Structure 1
Amino acid sequence: MTAPLTIAIDGPSGSGKSSVSKAVARRLGVGYLDTGAMYRALTWWCLERGLDLSDTEAVAAAARELPLVISTDPDDPTVTVDGTDVGEAIRSTRVSTAVSAVATNLEVRSVLRVLQRDLMARAAEQSGGVVAEGRDITTVVAPDARVRVLLTASEDARLRRRSAELHGATDATAVEATRDQVVRRDRDDSTVSSFTEAAPGVTLVDTSELDFDESVEAVLDVVAAETAEPVG
């Protein structure tokens, strides 16, 4: 039997890793896991409960008890916490400005890493493979993945993309309003995970000059090269 295909994709904010990863998973007919959504869901849960995010032990305890249900279907990537659909709420400015405090909690990362590996294994078993994306997937969560990609882009490109996503505009004002969520969060998160440079065995894909479809094809080309099989 052919072993499940595990594809790990790292990258900074605005590199396109979520949208590209979902599209790659659809093309390959495999599962999809957005690990960043898990940190966001925990952040939302802590804020709703009034927890002090600087209380690392309390946040880690919340992570161990988090009533999270996250879909690994790339066509329906829902996120539910305690029965509440939080798919939109976890993308709010409120969560985006607070998530680094949770994502840089080393005990939280340890707890969620176990869940991420379990979800990846189940998704791969069900569909024959999985595309997992985040910030330390290629080096910590799934260093033995068959395909490992660091998806990156210039700071300017990443700011414009995230600005268009959040504000529907890419003018100077909109870009500046987005800067904290991109540059500051990357700086904070880089203290606990490496996602700016490709580790040995990880293929770098720079999407600065690529549109969405070209970015998807670039990752599929890496998958094809790493597996020596035509894909998509």
Structure 2
Amino acid sequence: MTDRSIADASGASRASGASEAAAASAAEVPAGSAPVVIAIDGPAGSGKSSVSKQVARRLGYGFLDTGAAYRALAWHALEHGVETADAASVLDVLGEFDYAISLDPDVFWVRVGTSDVTAAIREPRVTDAVSGVARVPAVRESVNDLFRALIAASDRAGVVVEGRDITTVVAPDAPVRILLTAAPEVRAARRSAELTTQDAAAVAAALHRRDAKDAAVVDFLTAAPGVTVVDSTDLDFEQTVDAVLGVIHAGVSEQTGARDGR
């Protein structure tokens, strides 16, 4: 754990006391202002999706799962019989990619055209195809523009945005940027617990393969300058949520103070 990591046992305790203050600070954002962006990156199994969704609930913010867009595009490509390792073919179907996603953390859905693909994009065949889609630079540029448009169109005071390059590419100027991580063996165990129908060793191997593939596209294991690390290796779910809320409280308070000249 580095000296920039706040999620040790004492940090979790301090963050727990700060969670209500974080919500209060978030509520201070003036009506009509652009949504506050909370950018959260992290590897598979770090808990970033479930933690980000709960943080959004606690703050009354929107929640944007950016990985869902790449999964939905992979599903779309597979439905069209496209080999996702072929960048040119992926770009061809990108032009017909009619994508929509809910930013409501309590009513989450993903659609491509008229098809509800919320469950389908989690199928193993889609998971295996995601990296091929996400590695295409033109795809990432197009999808990142989509993310920014979704954030700007939100009618909530803020949006918690989670993914792989949110802190560095999608929202590098966000007032709060967090890298949520955990030890590899802990991440593998968590993912295995989620996928109860699959062998634990197979799940761990798949996670490591996905990390290796995705790391070739974007560095999501190293915090960029100005990004706070939250290491959840020794934290349970609620402790991790509280730790993230503590970082948000500090970041939003600092932004508010700078705006007010304090």
TM-score normalised by structure 2 residue count: 0.82
Highest CA radius of gyration, 1 or 2? 2
Identify which of 126, 129, 135 aligns with 1:98. 129
Identify which of 193, 207, 210 aligns with 1:164. 193
Q: Aligned ranges for residues 16-165 of structure 1 at < 5 Å?
A: 16-123=47-154, 126-165=155-194
Aligned to 1:212: 237
Aligned to 2:9: none
Matching of residue 181 in structure 1 with residue 210 in structure 2 = no
Look up the SS of the partner of 1:51 in the other structure.
Answer: coil
Question: d(CA) in 1 for partners of 2:205 and 2:108?
Answer: 26
Look up the SS of the partner of 2:68 in the other structure.
Answer: helix
Q: What stretches of structure 1 of length at least 5 have no aligned partner?
A: none
Q: Which moved more, 1:55-64 or 1:127-136?
A: 55-64
Runs of 4+ with deviation above 2 angstroms = 1-4
Deviation of the 1:177 alpha carbon: 1.3
Look up the SS of the partner of 1:54 in the other structure.
Answer: coil
Deviation of the 1:201 alpha carbon: 0.5
Q: Tell me which amino acid in the other structure corresponds to 1:196.
A: L
Q: Which moved more, 1:66-75 or 1:56-65?
A: 56-65
> How big is each residue's C-alpha offset from its partner over 1:141-195, in whole Å with a ceiling of 9 and x where there is no partner?
10011100000000001000100111268xxxx3211123311111111111121
Look up the SS of the partner of 2:195 in the other structure.
Answer: helix
Question: d(CA) in 2 for partners of 1:40 and 1:190?
Answer: 17
Look up the SS of the partner of 2:206 in the other structure.
Answer: helix
Q: What stretches of structure 2 of length at least 5 have no aligned partner?
A: 1-28, 255-262
Question: d(CA) in 1 for partners of 2:194 and 2:201?
Answer: 14
> How big is each residue's C-alpha offset from its partner over 1:51-101, in whole Å with a ceiling of 9 and x where there is no partner?
111220221232232111111111112001121111111111111111111
Identity %: 53
Q: Tell me which amino acid in the other structure corresponds to 1:216.
A: V
Question: d(CA) in 2 for partners of 1:201 and 1:162?
Answer: 29
